[in-house]
Amino acid sequence: MTIISLSAFDLAMAAGLIILLAVISLVMRLGLEKQLLLAGLRTTVQLLLIGLILKALFAAADAGWIALMALAMLVAAGREVSARQQRRFSGWWRMGIGTVAMLISSYTVTIFALVMVIGADPWYRPQYAVPLLGMLLGNTMNGIAIGLDRLTSAAVDQRAVIEARLALGQPWRQAVEDVSRASIRSGLIPIINSMMVAGLVSLPGMMTGQILGGNPPMEAVKYQILIMFLIAGGTGLGTMAAVWIGSRRLFDNRQRLRIDRLESR
């Protein structure tokens, strides 16, 4: 199957949709025209840059450079997690909780997939390692951000209930148990919804990309099933880890609720 290459003119025609939306926003006074144009520009520049980086990375296939890129992706994802929270932990915990949780979950699941499932040789082959880690980090990041935002907001809103449970002699785990469970459920809802409608309402991005790239549909389907299961596992483990660490951080060594460890945006 011949792959149809896209020209700069083809992409410019697609970019016309963003310009159209910006014009409509200006006419309707939505105030989104600048954000739309900036987002379109950033998407273009960022993806072109990552394309050049991946081209060099694929050619070199050096473990050190791959590890450096994986670290940069982790730091960027950790920063994004903290930016999405209405109430967030102060100090280095602001980025630390999400970053550690993603390190534990996304990296573990990615290595498991590369070594045990795909069996790439070498196992860190960038054509597999970088896209897998990127998809896992992106989706795990969303789950962790939602879970932590729910945790911190609920802790503030239900402060009186939690402190009453502590006064009755309950340990911190039990006092915040309902809030933690609700936070984990919130973080897992997006990936569960995606799995429920995959193939019925939407064709997932990786599957669509492989089909457009000329791969057989059934091979694309098998890879998409693998990716969905990996994302679900990474998101679940990451959200659980982040909510547990965040819940512990809400209390001091004397098991007192410390709302002062949170700051509003």
Both 16 and 53 in one domain: the answer is yes
Both 212 and 190 in one domain: the answer is yes
Give residues with Cβ within 8 angstroms of 153, minimum separation 6. 86, 87
Both 111 and 169 in one domain: the answer is yes
Give residues with Cβ within 8 angstroms of 69, minimum separation 6. 53, 57, 130
Both 38 and 122 in one domain: the answer is no
In this prediction, residue 6 carries a pLDDT of: 76
Both 5 and 102 in one domain: the answer is no
Q: How many domains would you assign to the chain?
A: 2
10, 29, 60: which is the final residue of a domain? 60
Both 95 and 220 in one domain: the answer is yes
10, 34, 60: which is the final residue of a domain? 60
43, 60, 77: which is the final residue of a domain? 60
CB of 172 closer than 8 Å to CB of 248: yes
109-117: long-range contacts at Cβ-Cβ below 8 A with a sequence spacing of 24 or more? 109/136, 109/230, 109/233, 109/234, 109/237, 110/136, 110/230, 110/234, 113/226, 113/230, 117/226
In this prediction, residue 203 carries a pLDDT of: 66
Both 168 and 83 in one domain: the answer is yes
Both 31 and 90 in one domain: the answer is no
Both 144 and 192 in one domain: the answer is yes
Determine the longest span between alpha carbons in the chain, in angstroms.
Answer: 70
pLDDT tens-place values along the chain, 265 residues long: 566 777 888 889 999 999 999 999 999 888 888 999 999 999 999 889 888 888 888 887 788 888 888 999 899 999 888 888 888 888 888 899 999 999 999 999 999 999 888 887 888 888 888 888 988 998 899 999 999 999 999 999 999 999 999 999 899 999 999 999 999 999 999 889 888 887 776 666 667 777 766 777 788 788 888 888 999 999 999 999 999 999 999 998 888 989 888 887 7
CA gap 94, 249 in Å, rounded: 11
Question: What range defines the domain where residue 24 resides?
Answer: 1-60
In this prediction, residue 135 carries a pLDDT of: 87
In this prediction, residue 201 carries a pLDDT of: 67
